[in-house]
Amino acid sequence: MGRKVTPKAIRMGINRTWDSVWYAPKRNYSKVLAQDLEIREKINKSMKDAGIDNIKINRSLNRMEILVYVARPGVAIGRGGEGIDFLQKELKRLAKMEVELKVREVRKADLSARIVARSIADGIERRQPSKLVVASAKEKIMASGAKGLKIWVSGRINNASQARTVKTTAGSVPAQTLRADVDYAGEVAKTIDAGLMGIKVWIYRGEKNNMDESEE
């Protein structure tokens, strides 16, 4: 149990809730699931500069509500709201039902594993030394009030001929405590010289005993 990579699945229903909430009969389940993945891919592509933390999809019989948590809501919404209006029309055409798209700001972006992992990947892609990028991210995370973190960077680090994994830790990250609020994300940095490099980030944000999302 303590060797699981992602800490999210075993905490589902304890201090985490599902990212997609809907019901589909057996004959339609695969279609709805494929549609969900397509919607997420489209949102990730169109809002990649906004710093996406999470996408939540709630479906009813003929209506869909999509909540997108971002670090920079102004970038996601666009000038005069035209960016979000265009995306909402695209999603409506894709889903073939009424779609309500909402953008919410992540108050503490440095406590979001996905945003941190993406910023580290972006730094590596811009040819910044991985050691400095990780050290900077570690400093910001701990300054934001995190109780602990783990950052793994794997690949041909600094254009080395041999691939290796560099592990950075601070504080503690409980693996087995189910009430521990541990966020996790994995990203890939696509470099020209060293190929693909993997980044994994775990952030321990303290204990949480309910599934209340007001802290997002």
Q: What average pLDDT does range 54-59 have in this prediction? A: 94
Q: Name the band, by pLDDT with cuts 50, 70 and 90, for residue 140.
A: very high
Same topology, domains 9-105 and 109-207? Answer is no
CATH domain 9-105 topology: GMP Synthetase; Chain A, domain 3 (3.30.300)
- Distance, C-alpha 114 to centroid of its chain: 3
pLDDT the model gives residue 213: 58
Measure Cα distances from 192 to 21, 35, 152, 157, 205 in Å: 39, 33, 20, 12, 35
Residue 110 pLDDT exceeds 90: yes
The class that CATH gives domain 109-207 is alpha beta
Q: What average pLDDT does range 180-191 have in this prediction? A: 93
Reported pTM? 0.88
Place of tokens 């580290």: 120
Domain ranges, ordered by start, for the chain: 9-105, 109-207
